[in-house]
Structure 1
Amino acid sequence: METPRAAGRYRIERLLGSGGFAAVWLGHDAQLDAPVAIKILADHWAQRTDLRERFVQEARLLRSVDSHRLVQVFDIGELPDGRPYFVMSYADKGTLDELLAAGPLPLNDALNLAREIAHGVAALHAHGIVHRDIKPSNVLIRSTDGADRIMIADLGIARTDDRLSSLTLPAGSPGYMAPEQTQIDGAPDRRSDVYGLGALTYHMLTGRPPSENRRLPSEVQPTIPHNIDAVVQRALEPERERRWASAADFAQALSQTLGKVDTDPLPHTRPVPKRPRRRRRLLWTAGGAVAALVLATGGTVWMVTKDDEPAPGASAPKKEHGASMGDPGGRWLRTDRGIPPQYRRLIVRAGTWCEVRGLSPALIAAMLKAESNFDPYLSDPKADEYGIARWTPSVLMHWQPGGSNNPAPRPADITPELSIPAMGRFLCSLGRQIQNVPGDPALNLAGVYRTSVDSVKKARGVPPAYKPYAQKVDQYLKDYRPN
């Protein structure tokens, strides 16, 4: 492919990428002293009037939508050989596809980015445009003001509302295209983009695009809560009538799950030196207009704007009284049984993490009493167990914020603020697998915590070797339950 020297006033420096339809080059705007991306129609298509019009239409559609979540078009023109081109924002950080090559994103990063992308697609829909090719390589990453933003690109096969009823041929990308996009005259509409958003979110959460016989996200990554399964699965429904009705609804559903997902960074009792292993971490700026997602793969700061106005009929996630107030009135736990007051809020938070039979703040408190007598400094190197909940670091790694994308915590890092909420995640995820096991559901949960799901299933309850432990938990449970 011959490198053109310039496109209008823009100097062309090097090829960024190419496909069968067009190539994208890195250019430089000398007047503004700024890098730009220049998309040029492939020379073997330049004589096709219909393809030229489609190429120019892509530029017009991008230009018509005023959103920072979409690639912006600044200029349009023709090369001396007649090939059309248009000039757009340069994504200096590459694509989401390149980011995902390293594996799944941390849970909160994936959800926030999915919500940002959904808002971008909603902006297209508000202008009567259906993208039809939502996939990681069409989500670009650009640094701006010291942070990174996503930009949706490539409207090459997009359709406007006035053309959705016309004959459509199969179009899209395998793994991300809705079933109706694989059919001749399948009449894809905005719900086809919802499917694409669901597939993209699934990929960010699990590290792979969904297949026909896909597993739930939580089955691939155990740290993913089941309410997120429901949001993503609804977007991926084969029948479009059963999907979220719009990208905006999908974004709002993600927002509601974010209210129920722990987004705290890994806590430290003291400053910890940086480790050579690269990791991704999350930082929220509470109460600000912006939430900054910190991906330490390169020290990236993601700027994620707060939600747009809630979708009609949507409500903000409810906060448990006990979780937000530390249970001062004893709604969840007795106040006269020696539960350390500094841990009550964390205990209530863990015990109300989800709805699983047997799970309660009283159970969490009883297990902490049995495990360590509420000793936050417990250290048992022989058993490799540490802290108030007797976590093994290599196990806790999977239940900490960010899951196994973060390294295993050091014993000194296993604080109550990390340990106790992790118990809630653990019991919510694995507890659902023993709901049909006979016996006391609370003690069965305690048995899983000390052994495994398979052991409790095989024993049809708490394994005999752990009965004394379960008996202690049962006694404390009775002490801590409110009257």
Structure 2
Amino acid sequence: MTEAYAVTVPKGYRIGGWEVREPIATGAFGSVYAARRVGEGDEALPRVAALKFLPTGTGTPRQLTHLRELAEREVALLRRLRRPRLIRMYETLTVDDPGRPELDGATVLVLERAERSLAGLLAASPRPPGCGPVLLEQVCEGLAQLHRAGWVHGDLKPANVLLMADGSVRLADFNMAAELEGTHAYTPAFSTPDYTPPELLWSEIGERGRRIRPSADVWAFGVLAHLVLTGAFPLPGATPAVRRDAAVAYARGTDTLRLSPELPDAWREIVRACLARTHADRIRAEALLRRVRTAAGSTGRGPFRSRERAPGPRRPFPSRSRRVAVAAAAAATTAMAALGYGISVWAGDAPPAGGAARAGSAASYGADELRTDRGVPSAYRLLIVETAHDCGREGVTPALIAAMLKVESNFDPDLSDPAKDEYGIARWTPKVLRWWMNEDGTPGETVPEPPFPPAESIPAMGRYLCWIAPRLESGLPGDRRVLLAAAYRTSYRKVNDAGGVPPKYRDYANRVAHYLKEYTPPGEK
């Protein structure tokens, strides 16, 4: 299979602290391989990952310019944004191997390892997946996270939606992504016709590329939702070219939108709102997310308000025993489509032998740091553990975050206490949350409005705790984790001035201490 790959990398090839294993996916200008960490590398890195090879050191000058631009787009977004619904990049490497001219100079992105793509899931079964609403809810969350950060994806489609081993969803392939400059962004003039809004099918292409709005992603979501829920595209035609012409006719008012009768009524209105004829009439991502959550029947019990409806693991795709391998993704791609992790051709859907044992599930994730048998909803485990890992400071542990969430809200993502102006699973006051909601440490441009989903609330709690930790005086009596919790509830200055937990907050601190003991595994401190 590797002979057909855009970038052929032999099994066992090493770059940085990684050893290449089996091929995963390929596209027109790059390929993705499974990898394992070897040697005494950074222990903060995972044991397995995906390496995305972009041949930025070979080819004609024109090809190199194009490839470098695409690579720079993706690297820029992944370095600046870390969101629960976006594929995570751990590091970037450059191949330095003159003895292999076909690889020398290649850019390598070390990415979070996915289990399969949505395209593979759709191709594996002729029937729409029963998990469709839950899956779409998570995709929509990813779009909202991107748009909220001021970026447009530019090429949303099933091949660029990845399904993780723990049941969560990630958006990938950001080499068409662009940062907004006011109301617009500029992207290369390549995209997948079936998911491109009609106004871009005939748009002019300037020196900086094609002007694009967030509404283009909303259109693509509408197409994707119709496909996931019915197995068919919303616009008629046996080929992408025919469907493209149908989209143009619809946008010009010479044809109507005839959605599948299999589409549930609630989703029918959502798809219509996404596929409005003009960009100005399309629903915005935040409003779209609220409607999608309602249609999916969410009760806010998942870690991102969607993964699960109640405590207990849930996977939004079939179990391993029921899956069949597919050789090609279902989504059509243009000849010039750039590679994204999950685009074009997948080697197979199942991970290597032993993958199931390594991957585990949301219920057991991080069991060495957080008890699995003491009432922490499994739906929040992944987010809690990763939030603690993102800080890395002494005392900011998964058990502390879980204990604080228990005391703050009893893990209720919909908590609303207007009398105290506190909302969500971490009891955020909007004016305070503004300062901790962004990954890059900058405050939000405006004061956020509730509800505050766990995907924002829990990481923000981790950032605040991480900021507090070095500001607490050393030598204060008591468990430093409990002192951090007290400082979160009041301020680090008041804890320092009191020489420990202020009397007013001792009951709160005692409750946190109780659950810390409950949630900390034996042998952990």
Q: TM-score, normalised by structure 2?
A: 0.48
Pair 1:158-2:177 in alignment? yes
- The aligned runs of 1:453-472 (5 Å cut-off) are none
Offset, 1:248? 2.2
- The aligned runs of 1:329-408 (5 Å cut-off) are none
| Distance in 2 (alpha carbons) for counterparts of 1:254 and 1:13 | 38
8 Å contact 2:134–2:307 — kept in the other structure?
A: no
Offset, 1:172? 1.5
Pair 1:172-2:196 in alignment? no
The amino acid that maps onto 1:256 is T
> 2:81: which partner in 1?
65
> 1:188: which partner in 2?
212
Offset, 1:137? 0.4
Structure 2 vs 1, CA of residues 3 and 150 (structure 1 numbering), >3 Å: closer, same or farther? same
Pair 1:27-2:35 in alignment? yes
Pair 1:10-2:10 in alignment? no
Report 1 or 2 for greater relative contact order, CA contacts < 8 Å, sequence distance ≥ 6: 2
| Distance in 2 (alpha carbons) for counterparts of 1:288 and 1:34 | 28
> 1:96: which partner in 2?
118
Counterpart of 1:38 (choices 38, 47, 51) is 51
Offset, 1:13? 1.8
Offset, 1:35? 1.6
Structure 2 vs 1, CA of residues 209 and 29 (structure 1 numbering), >3 Å: closer, same or farther? farther
8 Å contact 1:45–1:51 — kept in the other structure?
A: no
Structure 2 vs 1, CA of residues 18 and 166 (structure 1 numbering), >3 Å: closer, same or farther? same
Count of equivalent residues: 284
| Distance in 1 (alpha carbons) for counterparts of 2:83 and 2:450 | 25
Counterpart of 2:271 (choices 232, 253, 256) is 232
Offset, 1:299? 6.3
| Distance in 2 (alpha carbons) for counterparts of 1:209 and 1:240 | 20
Counterpart of 2:148 (choices 112, 126, 130) is 126
Offset, 1:36? 1.1
| Distance in 1 (alpha carbons) for counterparts of 2:307 and 2:144 | 24
| Distance in 2 (alpha carbons) for counterparts of 1:296 and 1:85 | 31
Identity %: 23
8 Å contact 1:140–1:152 — kept in the other structure?
A: yes
| Distance in 2 (alpha carbons) for counterparts of 1:236 and 1:169 | 23
8 Å contact 1:65–1:123 — kept in the other structure?
A: no
Offset, 1:304? 7.3
**Structure 1 unaligned regions, length at least 5:** 262-282, 315-483
Counterpart of 1:114 (choices 136, 141, 152) is 136
> 1:256: which partner in 2?
294
Pair 1:197-2:221 in alignment? yes
Structure 2 vs 1, CA of residues 170 and 85 (structure 1 numbering), >3 Å: closer, same or farther? same
> 2:430: which partner in 1?
none
| Distance in 2 (alpha carbons) for counterparts of 1:14 and 1:160 | 34
Q: What is the CA deviation profile of residues 274-297 of structure 1, one whole-angstrom value per residue up to 9, with x for unaligned ones?
A: xxxxxxxxx996554986657356
- The aligned runs of 1:308-323 (5 Å cut-off) are none
Structure 2 vs 1, CA of residues 295 and 17 (structure 1 numbering), >3 Å: closer, same or farther? closer
Structure 2 vs 1, CA of residues 6 and 164 (structure 1 numbering), >3 Å: closer, same or farther? farther
**Structure 2 unaligned regions, length at least 5:** 1-6, 97-103, 236-242, 247-255, 300-305, 324-360, 363-377, 381-411, 415-422, 425-447, 452-525
| Distance in 2 (alpha carbons) for counterparts of 1:284 and 1:164 | 31
Runs of 4+ in 1 over 6 A off after TM superposition: 299-314
> 1:400: which partner in 2?
none
> 1:82: which partner in 2?
105
